[in-house]
Structure formats: structure tokens, C-alpha cells
């Protein structure tokens, strides 16, 4: 008689528990290797660029290290001045020793041909500083004590406390000053955080405009997409498939072509204004300005992003059984009550998916506002692109992008808390 207390084994005599564990481990390894290419792709194209952006937003070695373009060799710079900053607390008025350290560092910068890069780094936070550094570096070797008077003879702005505070902040390669600048804040001579002058406050207004316009565009897309999706979902399949081609047709056309088409339609001498004048609705002298402003941005972006709202709504509406509404009507509910209490709640997951998709795309849109927005229709993405391509202040661009990313993640978290991400359906 077999011993029922003995451990179970496989046919080859191995303990069953160990064999099951080994089989599960092999299955996990097989699954891991199957998704490894996708995981590597996501890490290289998504996670790594975001990590680099976040690092760039707090790291700028332009005042601390000079990199030779030819050899790639890195040389510490502004060593003497950085040592003075370490020995003296913020708010200390620069003395003769500070100016002597500055002159010595300018001499080194002249030899390394690096005063322009150092001046550019300071110029990011204080306009006009680059020319001061290049001018002083050219004459640094000829300056004699007292160095403070000699530097002030070159330019009185060398005594500006704001300049010295900016240089103190730049004396470390890692700084959060770019995040302060992205929020229209700065440090005063004592190192305290204060708001910049009102005429220089740009970024918070752009963030606010981006948020409000994105919400408005999302709402307009919802108003237009809901009846379209409802029509597609209730028509016979052969008709709805034909109409779906018109919804998908914009995806087969270049985004640049669609945007420039709106310029042709909306400009003062465009098709819309010419039609309104021809029908007598408007006088020729009172044409509506619908382009190169917020109106143009809203119209063009609503048209471009509309399919991203239609498709999630259609995918949710199509499976809804029409007998639910008919049953409510047969029990005495009005058409509005049946829609409000029976049909609409079942479409909420599609509304959430479409709204989230359209809003995230609208927040980061660049080409359409750049072409049709003008000065009043620009979004924060356009300013990020400006700092990346024109001013070359990549750290500030990275800080702006990081704040934008953080804001989207916060809204995503709020959506999850209020609605629930589990209720989101894309199909």
C-alpha cells in the first residue's frame, strides 16, 4: 500500500512542488524575453529622453566647466570666483577680493576662448550679461589693482547685486533657478525668491492660456463629436462604415496641409469672409479677423483633434443595446429622461477617454498654434520650441516642459480620483 504521507513527485521522480516552481519560472522568463524588445524600445525612446530632460532642467555647467569642442576635454572655470562664493554667504557685498577673483577667472576665460559661453549662461537669467563678459575678458590682462575700480570703469553694471546673485546661483552646475524662471520668479540680492517685474511675467500667463484653451478645445470637440458618434453608432453598419471614412479622412492628409487650409479659409480675404461679404452679412470694410489670434487656434485645433474624440465615443456607443432606451420609453420616461438616465451614463467611459486624449494632445500642440495662432494664440509649447531652437536656453526649455508634464500628471491623477481610470475605455 502506497504511503499517502510521502511528497508528490513527477514521473521522473522530482518533487511536484519544485517542478511546478521551475515551470512557472520558465514561463516568466519566456514572457519577459517576449516583451523585452518592447520594454527596451520604451526605455530608449520614452523614459530615457524624459530622464534626460529632467536632468537638463536642473543642470547647466556653463559657468563651471568649459568643454573643448575639438577634443572634448573638460576644464574647470571660474574657480577663484566660485571659491569666494563658498567662503562668503549670500547677501555679502562683493569686495576687492571678489573682483580680484573675477579678473583672474576672466584671464583664464580669454585663454580658453570661453567668455562667450560663460556670459551666455549668465545671460539666461540676466539680459545683457554676455557682452559684459566678452568685453571684460578682452581687457582683463591689462587691469591692475584696485580691481573693483578697474572693473567698474569698464562697466558700472559689474556692481549690480542682481548680477552677483545670478553668478552665485550659476556657481553650481545644479540649480533650480530655471524652474523659478519658468514660474516668473527670481532670486533677489539676498537670495530670497521674489516675483519678476510685471512686464517680464510671461510663462505663467502662457501656462494659464494653454490650460484654458485646451479645456475649451476639449469641450468643443465633445459637443461636436457626441452627435456624430451617436449617428455612426445607430446607423446600419453599411452606412456607418461609409461615414466613418469621412471621420478617418483627416488622418490621410498631412497636418501641415490641414493647418494651412484653415489659413486660406479664415484669413481676412479668405473663403469664409468672402462668402459672408457676398451674401451681404458683412460689409467689405468689416471683415472678421479669424486668423493669427486665439480664434484661429481654437477653430483649427478643434477640427484637427475632433476625430480623437469621435473614435472613443463611437467604440463605446456601438455596443449599447438600443432596447434599454426603448424599455425606458415604454415605462413612461420622456426622450430626454431616457437619454439622461439610461443612455448618457453608459457613454461616460468614452467621454473620459476622448476628453483625456484630446486634452493631452492640445496641451502639447505646436505646429497649429505656430501657424495660425499669431501672438495671442501661442501656447507654452511654442515658447519651449523657441528656447530650444532660437535662444538655445535648453535648461529653461526643459524646466518648462517638466512643469507641463507635471501638470498633466496631476490632472491625470485627479481624473483617476474623481472618475476612475478603470472606467476609461478606448474601445
Per-residue pLDDT of the chain (427 residues; tens, 9 = 90+): 455 556 667 666 677 777 788 889 999 999 999 999 999 999 999 999 999 999 999 999 999 999 888 788 999 999 999 999 999 998 899 999 999 999 999 999 999 999 999 999 999 999 899 999 999 999 999 999 999 999 999 999 999 999 999 999 999 999 999 999 999 999 888 888 999 988 889 999 999 999 999 999 999 999 999 999 999 998 888 888 888 888 888 888 888 888 889 988 988 888 888 888 988 888 888 888 888 889 999 999 999 999 999 999 999 999 988 888 889 888 888 989 999 999 999 998 889 889 989 999 999 888 889 888 887 888 999 999 999 999 889 999 999 999 999 998 988 888 788 777 666 655 5
Same-domain check for residues 43 and 80: no
DSSP-derived 3-state class of residue 127: coil
The answer as to whether 198 is a domain residue is no
Residue 179 is assigned to a structural domain of this protein: no
Q: Does 311 lie in the same domain as 227?
A: yes
Could you check whether the bond before residue 85 is cis, i.e. omega within 30 degrees of 0? Answer: no
CATH number at residue 344: 1.10.3720.10
User: Is the same domain home to 116 and 255?
Assistant: no
Q: Which of these, 167, 204, 175, 184, lies nearest to 83 by C-alpha position?
A: 167
Give the dihedral sign, CA 28/31/37/43. Answer: negative
Task: Answer whether residue 184 is part of any domain.
Answer: no
Q: What is the pTM of this model?
A: 0.87
Q: Which three cell numbers stand for residue 132?
A: 559684459
* Residues of the domain holding 41: 16-49
In the chain, the number of structural domains is 3
- Strand, coil or helix: 156: helix
Q: Is residue 310 part of a domain?
A: yes
Give phi and psi for 97, each to the nearest 5: -65, -35
Residue 225 CA to residue 319 CA, distance in Å, equals 17
Say whether both 319 and 357 belong to one domain. Answer: yes
* Same structural domain, 264 and 379: yes
Look at residue 54 and tell me if it is in a domain.
no
Cell numbers given for 337: 429622461
Alpha-carbon gap, residue 54 to 252, rounded angstroms? 35
DSSP state of 61: G
Residues 207 and 230: their CA atoms lie apart, in Å, by 34
CA pair distance 25, 17, nearest whole angstrom: 12
Say whether both 280 and 386 belong to one domain: yes
Together in a domain, 400 and 295: yes
Spatial separation of the C-alpha atoms in residues 143 and 108, rounded to whole Å: 14
Q: Are residues 286 and 366 in the same domain?
A: yes
C-alpha cell at position 368: 497649429
Residue 187 host element (H or E): strand 185-187
Rounded to an integer, what distance in angstroms lies between the CA atom of residue 150 and that of residue 146? 6
Separation CA 169–CA 191 (nearest Å): 9
| Cα separation, 46 vs 360, whole angstroms | 16
C-alpha cell at 23: 515551470
150 shares its domain with 34: no
Counted residue by residue, the chain has a size of 427
Q: Same domain for 279 and 407?
A: yes
299, burial (CB in 10 Å: exposed 0-12, middle 13-18, buried 19+): buried
Distance CA 78, CA 61 (A): 11
Asked whether residue 188 is domain-assigned, the answer is no
Grid coordinates in use for 352?
A: 473620459
Three-state DSSP class for 65? strand
Q: Is residue 84 domain-resident?
A: yes
Amino acid at each position: 500500500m502506497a504511503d499517502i504521507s510521502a511528497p508528490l513527485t513527477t514521473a521522473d521522480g522530482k518533487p511536484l512542488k519544485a517542478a511546478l516552481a521551475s515551470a512557472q519560472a520558465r514561463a516568466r522568463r519566456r514572457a519577459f524575453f517576449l516583451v523585452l524588445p518592447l520594454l527596451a524600445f520604451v526605455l530608449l525612446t520614452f523614459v530615457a529622453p524624459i530622464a534626460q530632460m529632467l536632468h537638463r532642467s536642473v543642470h547647466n555647467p556653463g559657468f563651471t566647466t568649459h568643454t573643448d569642442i575639438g577634443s572634448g576635454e573638460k576644464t574647470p572655470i571660474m574657480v577663484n570666483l566660485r571659491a569666494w562664493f563658498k567662503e562668503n554667504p549670500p547677501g555679502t557685498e562683493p569686495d576687492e577680493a571678489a573682483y580680484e577673483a573675477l579678473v583672474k577667472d576672466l584671464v583664464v576665460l580669454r585663454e580658453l576662448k570661453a567668455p562667450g559661453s560663460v556670459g551666455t549662461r549668465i545671460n539666461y537669467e540676466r539680459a545683457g550679461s554676455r557682452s559684459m563678459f566678452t568685453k571684460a575678458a578682452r581687457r582683463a590682462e591689462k587691469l591692475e589693482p584696485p580691481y573693483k575700480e578697474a572693473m567698474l570703469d569698464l562697466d558700472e553694471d559689474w556692481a549690480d547685486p542682481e548680477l552677483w546673485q545670478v553668478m552665485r546661483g550659476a556657481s553650481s552646475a545644479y540649480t533650480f533657478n530655471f524652474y523659478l524662471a519658468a514660474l516668473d520668479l527670481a532670486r533677489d540680492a539676498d537670495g530670497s525668491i521674489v516675483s519678476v517685474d510685471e512686464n517680464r511675467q510671461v510663462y505663467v500667463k502662457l501656462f494659464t492660456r494653454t490650460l484654458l484653451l485646451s479645456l475649451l478645445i476639449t469641450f468643443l470637440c465633445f459637443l461636436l463629436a457626441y452627435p456624430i458618434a451617436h449617428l455612426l453608432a445607430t446607423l446600419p453598419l453599411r452606412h456607418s462604415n461609409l461615414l466613418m471614412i469621412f471621420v478617418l479622412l483627416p488622418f490621410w492628409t498631412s497636418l501641415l496641409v490641414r493647418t494651412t487650409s484653415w489659413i486660406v479659409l479664415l484669413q481676412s480675404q479668405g473663403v469664409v469672409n468672402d462668402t459672408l461679404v457676398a451674401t451681404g452679412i458683412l460689409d467689405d470694410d468689416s471683415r472678421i479677423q479669424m486668423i493669427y489670434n486665439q480664434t484661429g487656434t481654437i477653430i483649427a485645433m478643434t477640427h484637427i483633434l475632433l476625430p480623437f474624440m469621435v473614435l472613443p465615443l463611437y467604440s463605446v456607443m456601438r455596443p449599447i443595446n438600443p432596447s434599454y432606451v426603448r424599455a425606458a420609453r415604454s415605462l413612461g420616461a420622456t426622450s430626454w429622461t431616457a437619454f439622461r438616465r439610461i443612455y448618457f451614463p453608459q457613454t461616460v467611459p468614452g467621454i473620459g477617454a476622448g476628453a483625456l486624449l484630446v486634452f493631452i494632445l492640445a496641451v502639447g500642440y505646436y505646429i497649429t498654434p505656430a501657424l495660425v495662432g499669431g501672438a495671442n494664440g501661442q501656447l507654452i509649447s511654442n515658447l519651449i520650441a523657441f528656447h530650444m531652437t532660437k535662444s538655445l536656453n535648453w535648461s529653461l526649455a526643459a524646466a518648462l516642459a517638466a512643469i507641463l508634464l507635471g501638470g498633466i500628471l496631476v490632472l491625470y491623477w485627479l481624473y483617476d480620483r474623481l472618475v476612475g481610470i478603470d472606467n476609461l475605455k478606448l474601445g
